[in-house]
Amino acid sequence: MICSQCGNDVAEGSAVCPRCGAPQGTRQGADVRLGAPGGPAPAGGPTGSAATATPAFSFDLKRLTRNDQIVGAATIVFFISLFLPWFTSSAGIYSASVNGLWHGYMYIGLILALAVIAYLVLCAGFEALPFRLPLDHDKALLAATGVIFLLTVISFVFKPSGAGVVSIGWGFGAFVGLVAAVAAVAPLGLPFLRSRAGR
């Protein structure tokens, strides 16, 4: 069946949508799944506090959509790229490099990347998340990957400045990070831009 809130495919008989957590089916099933006060206990199942216990974590990539998987993989690559050489400097026979965190604001990108990865791991681990986000699933991922993309472009464009005989260039980590940031934001960003352009 289809979730009425986010349009995700939901297994028949599921109490809640695995993507957005919206209740599915009858109200009774939602009450049991969400542990609402006064909700009936499952037949032959536990009652009281056991009925409201957080569901067990069981990692399954099938709980993630194709877009989720692309965003997750690209974000992991971006995270790794931050520790690779982003900028190189050379002066005669001497050379040096700095990683993607040379610009201090890229720590924001680092934190957001960790948040995206952790969130998607939770989405893959729980049939229904034990918390609700202020934004729906796709908007939350788009907001995080969009900020990462903007910070990455700014960092890529504004290289450290060289002086005298010192020349500054990009390291391979900067290109890896830029491509990964584009790949992470594109699956959700392009449909969003098309929908805005069509208005």
Residues of the chain under the 50 pLDDT cut: 26-45, 48-51
State the Cα torsion 63-64-69-75 to the nearest 10°: -110
Q: Is 172:84 a contact under the CB 8 Å cutoff?
A: yes
Would the pTM count as exceeding 0.75?
Answer: no
**How far is the C-alpha of 124 from the C-alpha of 155, rounded, in Å?**
32
Can you name the residues that pair with 43 across neighbouring β-strands? none
Q: Is 85:173 a contact under the CB 8 Å cutoff?
A: yes
Q: What is the pLDDT of residues 31-70, one digit of tens each?
A: 433 444 444 444 444 554 444 565 788 999 999 999 999 9
Q: Is 177:78 a contact under the CB 8 Å cutoff?
A: yes
Q: Strands of 15-156 (E only): list them.
A: 85-91, 94-99
**How far is the C-alpha of 94 from the C-alpha of 199, rounded, in Å?**
55
